[in-house]
Amino acid sequence: MSEYKLQMLNTEKFDDQAIMEAEKAGIEIYSPMVPGSRLHAVMHNPIDSGIDEG
């Protein structure tokens, strides 16, 4: 794997962790890409909201 790809993967992991820690501290982060984030939950809620609503 290239050095660039490794750097991108590490940055992605760092950003995801920072978002989850901020949300635990009560800061609302709107990120559809982070499983566990509020926006991800809303967007992927198949029952009453989100793009998966059916």
Cβ-contact 44, 52 below 8 angstroms: yes
Measured from the Cβ of residue 34, the count of other Cβ atoms closer than 10 Å reads 19
The stretch 25-29 carries a mean pLDDT of: 78
Per-residue confidence at 10, pLDDT binned at 50, 70, 90?
Answer: very high
The verdict on pTM exceeding 0.75 is no
Q: Per residue in 33-45, pLDDT tens?
A: 666 667 777 776 6
Does position 53 have pLDDT exceeding 50, yes or no? no
Please report the DSSP string for 14-49 in residue order. Answer: HHHHHHHHHHHTT-----TTSTTSHHHHHHT-TTTS
Q: What is the pLDDT of residue 43?
A: 72
**Amino acid identity, position 11:** T
Per-residue confidence at 46, pLDDT binned at 50, 70, 90?
Answer: low
**Residues in the chain, how many?**
54
Distance CA 32, CA 43 (A): 7
